[in-house]
Chains A and B, each alone.
Chain A
Amino acid sequence: MKKITVISGKGGTGKTTVVANLAYLAKDLVLADCDVDAPNLHLLLEPKVNKSEIFKSHKIALKDNDKCINCGTCYDVCRFNAVEPISYNIDGYKCEGCGVCVAMCPEDALSLKLLETGNIYQSTTEFGPMIHAHLNVGADNSGKLISEVREKAVEIGNKQDKELILIDGSPGIGCPVISSITGVDLVLFVTEPSKSGFSDLKRVAKVIKHFNIPALAVINKYDINEGISEEIEKYLIEEKIELVGKISFSSDVVDSLRNAKLIVQDDQENRISKELANIWHGIQNRINYN
């Protein structure tokens, strides 16, 4: 079983659209939406939720006002500015649940409380099982939720003897991205030819290199700026990242999206559909080769 995570560095380059269309082409796979901060894959694949579980991983300090003597120790020891001055109330958004105030409080007035981070869903789509999640607004620790989504997908993939797990990653280069690529066999970059898209690609590619994961790339909307597309192609060659295909800019993609449809399913003769089919062949070749 191969695990592939689709990432981009920059948001809005078309990760989710590519993942959903590849799911149609792959026909039988496990899907995971690790972009728990702004999950969108479910909008295209309309999964039927079979099981929903509450996920708790996020701790914050809780104060017992009856025990508190307003000594200010918690304020002095907190490195996250999560204790307000004077009132010594805990700011739940800033608290990282480290437990230092709990350990140092002379009156035992503080404790760590485990909070709900979000929900994890086990669902079914037309193309196989899908694991996705909802992160509570303002919740910390999305990294752990992402790891849980990824691990659940692997577990189901193993149990059902699937050949492929396709993971929709999150934008950026920080904790959520690192959680969504841990232990995968391949990374697929979906980039776009803009100065910022290219810069973000280079940053996230360094992260992937750091973890030593082989990578493939797709340039989406490549004809928006062919000059930058060429620069990206040169960069990919230098970095030994295989370009598996380019996708033209077309309003048909957005139109399909607005109708919650997959372009490869809706209009197989469309230029974009053909480009996506070629990309899928490229990925298959690479999977078989590895």
Chain B
Amino acid sequence: MKLTVLSGKGGTGKTTVSVNMALSLSKIQLLDADVEEPNCKYFIGTDFDKEEKIYRKVPKVDQEKCTACRKCVDFCEYNALAMMIDEVLVFPEICHSCGGCKRICPVNAINEVDRELGNLKHGVNKYGIDFWQGELNIGEESSVPVIEELKEKTNPNKNVIIDAQPGTTCPTIEAAADSDYCILVTEPTPFGLSDLKLASELMDELKIPHGVIINRAEEDSDYIIEDFCEERNINILLKIPFIRDFAHLYSNGIPFVIDYPTWKDEFKKVFKEIRGVLDEKDNGN
């Protein structure tokens, strides 16, 4: 089973849910797909045993061959190429690596060279969690290829939990796209509600079964989220209460199930519930 944990808004507790859930279950693979700011590592506590660099291709112009015909400059949809008098300049940061300029050049003056985009790192922690993280290099703009490479590491024999980037655009979609189920993490504030609406819209669009976990839950405020979920018929899987000690543990990179092990049972229940939803769906088909 492949589960993606996501949220419209950042800082709602995706990593908290991913890590605590991973620690509560067995045969788990955890993928940190929040490649702009990967943080699971602080909570998982593992030394990395493997690193793979990720490269992408960017054009390099052979000025000897170039006839300054401008065809590449006109072709590029991202304005990553520009004409300076009679020389083509390349802006590799904004290049999407589509390879079009190389194909379009009538005199074969464009070659492609590798540019490092990010890396993947692997480790197994002391509880046996098989952990991979993707990381985007600073100054690079495009997370998606890193997430694609990271997902290649998916082990089909394990229960896979993917910690996605917040939002509803390409990086989040790339992480969630072929998941069996998505957990939307939110908090009982107007911000949390507004961003949950966007995330659930995305789920409807992608047609992925999903449920909600309310983080920093407080009895007299949870209605903000509960009313919405009831109206949309979205299952609330769990509420993680607002406890200052949880926040403190988080700040030190300690998953709260370590200090409060009874919470493992709560995450096991959530997992069982998700499995039930998926089984029912399979039987229905």
Chain A residues with a Cβ under 8 A of chain B: 9-13, 16, 37-40, 43, 59, 77, 79-81, 93, 96-100, 103-104, 112, 135, 137-140, 142-143, 171-175, 178, 192-197, 199-200, 203, 206-207, 210, 221, 224-225, 228, 249, 254, 257-258, 260
Shortest Cβ distance from B34 into A: residue: A172
Tally of contact residues, B, Cβ under 8 A: 57
Contacts of A174 in B (CB 8 A): 36, 136, 140-143, 171
Q: How far is the CB of B178 from chain A (nearest CB, A)?
A: 12
Chain A CB within 10 A, most for which of B12, B78, B188: B78
Counting from the closest, the 4 A-B pairs by CB-CB distance are A11-B10, A12-B11, A98-B98, A196-B39
Kindly specify which of B84-92, B197-205, B272-280 makes contact with the partner chain: B197-205
Cα of A40 to Cα of B142 in the assembled complex, Å: 24
Chain B CB within 10 A, most for which of A11, A197, A206, A260: A11
- Say yes or no: A207 contacts B96, CB within 8 Å: no
Cα of A174 to Cα of B134 in the assembled complex, Å: 14
Cα of A38 to Cα of B172 in the assembled complex, Å: 13
- Which among B37, B99, B170, B194 is the interface contact of A10 at CB below 8 angstroms? B37
Cα of A34 to Cα of B168 in the assembled complex, Å: 15
Asked if B166 lies at the interface with its beta carbon under 8 angstroms from chain A, I say: yes
Contacts of A210 in B (CB 8 A): 138-139
Asked if B270 lies at the interface with its beta carbon under 8 angstroms from chain A, I say: no
Contacts of B63 in A (CB 8 A): none
- Which among B12, B202, B221 is the interface contact of A138 at CB below 8 angstroms? B202
Cα of A80 to Cα of B77 in the assembled complex, Å: 15
Q: How far is the CB of A40 from chain B (nearest CB, A)?
A: 5
- Say yes or no: B168 contacts A257, CB within 8 Å: no
Contacts of B195 in A (CB 8 A): 38, 40
Asked if B211 lies at the interface with its beta carbon under 8 angstroms from chain A, I say: no
- Say yes or no: B99 contacts A77, CB within 8 Å: yes
Q: Contacts A43-B194, A175-B141; is A140 near B166 (CB within 8 Å)?
A: no
Contacts of B99 in A (CB 8 A): 77, 79, 100
- Say yes or no: A38 contacts B202, CB within 8 Å: no
Shortest Cβ distance from B141 into A: residue: A175
Q: Contacts A100-B98, A140-B169, A210-B139; is A40 near B194 (CB within 8 Å)?
A: yes
Cα of A140 to Cα of B96 in the assembled complex, Å: 13
- Say yes or no: A13 contacts B221, CB within 8 Å: no
Residues of B1-52 at the interface with A, using a CB-CB cut-off of 8 Å, are 8-12, 15, 36-37, 39, 42
Shortest Cβ distance from A209 into B: residue: B138
